[in-house]
Amino acid sequence: LDMEMPECNGIDVAKRLKEDGSSVRVLALSAHDSVHFINGVLASGAYGYLIKEEMPEVILEAVRGVAQGQKDWLSDRARNRREKFFTDEGDPLSKLSGREREILKLIGQGCDNLTISNLLSISERTVRNHVSNIYTKLKFHTRAELVAWAWEYGLLK
The string of DSSP letters for 130-143 reads HHHHHHHHHT--SH
The whole-number pLDDT of residue 157 equals: 55
d(C-alpha 65, C-alpha 138), whole Å: 38
Rounded Cα–Cα distance for residues 125 and 109 (Å) = 20
Q: Please, are residues 42 and 71 in contact by the beta-carbon 8 Å criterion?
A: no
- CA dihedral (138, 116, 107, 45) positive or negative: positive
* pLDDT 10s digits, 133-145: 998 888 888 888 7
Whole-angstrom distance, CA of residue 51 vs CA of residue 34: 10
The residue-averaged pLDDT of 4-29 equals 84
Residues 6+ apart with CB under 8 A from 104: 96, 134, 146, 150, 155, 156
Q: Which residue has the higher pLDDT, 1 or 20?
A: 20
Q: Could you report the per-residue pLDDT of 43-101, keeping only the tens digit for each?
A: 788 899 999 888 999 999 999 999 999 988 998 888 888 777 666 556 677 788 999 98
